[in-house]
Amino acid sequence: MNFKRVMMILLAALLLPGLALAQTSRATFDVTKNWDEAHSGNPASVSVTLNCFTGLPLTQSQNITHNQGVVFVVTDFASGDLDCTVTEADVDGYSATYNGGDGCEFTSVNDGDADSCQITNTPDPVEVTVYKDWVIEGSGGNALDPEYSILLVCDDEIVGGDDCSTPGLQGGSKSYGYSECYYYSGSWIKELTHTGTGNTDDAEYTAHVIPDWDGDTHCYAEESVWDSSIEADDSDCYYNGMHVLIGGVGEGSDNECTIVNTVFYEGIPTLSQYGMVIMALLMLGVGFVGFRRFV
């Protein structure tokens, strides 16, 4: 056996296990992606990536849209010695869950395994704020009934609010003083405050709204007051005063508005001690003249 033949045999001995491995080891990962039900019309695509950390390191990425499936294929690994993870690129304004929350991490993958991963994107709630400012004109501003009610109305879901399209909420079965759900049929409503012992301090009220993907979520707030000396100006909040976008950012995004309460209350004029003495003397004089005239 010459030297050349020996080298060929040694080379074959080194290569054949790898070739056999390449021919026999194969695993697949079937990945599907969904926006949550309310956002199923979202046409955006998102990048998903398969990372494998043992065996032959492998990274693959593919773009995926709603209800679409892609398949990742991995070869050249020792059966039972392959660990892989499927992840989605961050999507602004959304949170992702994998396989219903169990994650898409696959360990000790065997030759011939066919694993699956389902990714669901759910929109994050966006905070909206209604500011309430008081303007006191004249004296006696605190000598009033500061009771007021602020109602938030949105095209889409308000966390903790009521969906007026839900059967049983219309016609006043649940109301905030009157049949709002009947009046705002198809909208979501939430009372931000209703106080009978309030004060004239500036305040702010927040709620969380889950906007639609198409940028067509608007909210407005309106206020009711019960004291005739208070003028409520909620024009900054009405109509469609707030434009709520996914993530709370973007061109045209406006997540806050201000209601101004102006108090026109002059109070009852008061007299100093000297004025009261003069008033008493005047009344005494009028009384004396009347006595002389009719006696």
pLDDT score of 22: 45
Assess whether 249 and 139 both reside in one domain.
yes
Instruction: Indicate the pTM of the whole model.
Output: 0.73
DSSP 8-state symbol, 143: S
Say which range, 4-18, 145-159, 211-225, 230-244, has the weakest mean pLDDT: 4-18
Do 96 and 160 belong together in one domain?
no
- Assign 291 a pLDDT band (cuts: 50, 70, 90): very low
Same domain (yes/no): 113, 214: no
**For residue 198, what is the domain's CATH number?**
2.60.40
Give domain status of residue 291, yes or no: no
Tell the residue number behind the tokens 């494998």, with chain if given: 52
Has residue 282 been placed in a domain? Answer: no
Does the pLDDT value for residue 76 go beyond 70? Answer: yes
Contact between 213 and 40 (Cβ < 8 Å): no
Q: Evaluate if residue 196 carries a pLDDT over 70.
A: no
Which of left, alpha, beta for 232 (phi over 0: left; psi -120 to 50: alpha)? Answer: beta
Mean pLDDT of the region 271-295: 57
Q: Which of 105, 123, 141 is the last residue before a domain boundary?
A: 123
Pairing of strands 256-264, 230-233: antiparallel
**In-domain check, residue 281:** no
Percent above pLDDT 70 for the chain? 74
Does the pLDDT of residue 14 top 60, yes or no? no
The confidence score (pLDDT) of residue 59 equals: 79
18 has a pLDDT exceeding 70: no
- How many separate domains does the chain show? 2
Instruction: Give the count of alpha carbons within 13 A of 194, CB side only.
Output: 7
| pLDDT number for residue 159 | 96
230 or 243, greater pLDDT: 243
196: Cα within 13 Å, side-chain hemisphere: 0
Q: 135 and 110: one domain?
A: no
**In Å, what is the CA distance from 251 to each residue of 2, 73, 219, 255?**
78, 41, 16, 12
Classify residue 13: in a domain, yes or no: no
Weakest mean pLDDT among 152-166, 190-204, 242-256: 190-204
User: When comparing pLDDT for 64 and 239, which is higher?
Assistant: 64
Of 48-57, 122-131, 203-212, 255-264, minimum mean pLDDT range? 48-57
Q: How confident is the model at residue 184 (pLDDT cuts 50, 70, 90)?
A: confident
Distance CA 106, CA 84 (A): 5
For residue 25, what are the contacts with CB-CB under 8 A and spacing of at least 6?
A: 75, 76, 77, 78, 79, 111
Q: Name the token pair of 228.
A: 């005739």
User: Is residue 77 domain-shared with residue 206, that is, in the same domain?
Assistant: no
Residues 104 and 181 in one domain: no
Flag whether 275 is in a domain: no
Do 135 and 260 share a domain, yes or no? yes
Residue 241 has pLDDT above 60, yes or no: yes
Asked if residue 7 belongs to a domain, the reply is: no
Among 132-146, 161-175, 184-198, 268-282, top mean pLDDT goes to 184-198
Catalogue the E-assigned strands of the chain.
Answer: 26-35, 46-52, 58-64, 68-75, 82-88, 94-98, 105-109, 114-123, 126-137, 148-154, 162-163, 188-195, 203-209, 217-225, 230-233, 242-244, 256-264
Most confident residue range from 2-11, 90-99, 262-271: 90-99
pLDDT in tens, 29-74: 999 999 988 788 899 999 999 999 877 777 789 999 999 889 999 9
Residues 243, 148 within the same domain: yes
Query: What is the residue range of 224's domain?
Result: 126-264
**Is the pLDDT assigned to residue 179 strictly greater than 90?**
no
- 197 within a domain of the structure (yes/no): yes
Q: How many CB atoms lie within 10 A of CB 59?
A: 8
**What is the tens place of the pLDDT at every residue in 147-174?**
888 999 999 999 999 888 887 665 554 5
Confidence grade of residue 252 (pLDDT, cut at 50, 70, 90): confident
Pair (90, 207) in one structural domain: no
Assess contact for 82 and 109: CB atoms under 8 A: yes
Same domain, 86 and 156: no
Q: Using CA atoms, how far apart are residues 23 and 15, in angstroms rounded to an integer?
A: 12
Last residue of a domain, one of 123, 143, 164: 123
Q: Count CB neighbours of 275 within 10 A.
A: 11
> Do 136 and 229 reside in the same domain of the chain?
yes
> pLDDT band at 21, cuts 50/70/90?
very low
- Residue 295: inside a domain, yes or no? no
Q: Which of 123, 146, 174 is the last residue of a domain?
A: 123
- 55 and 113 together in one domain: yes
Task: Kindly report the CATH number assigned to the domain that includes residue 74.
Answer: 2.60.40.1140
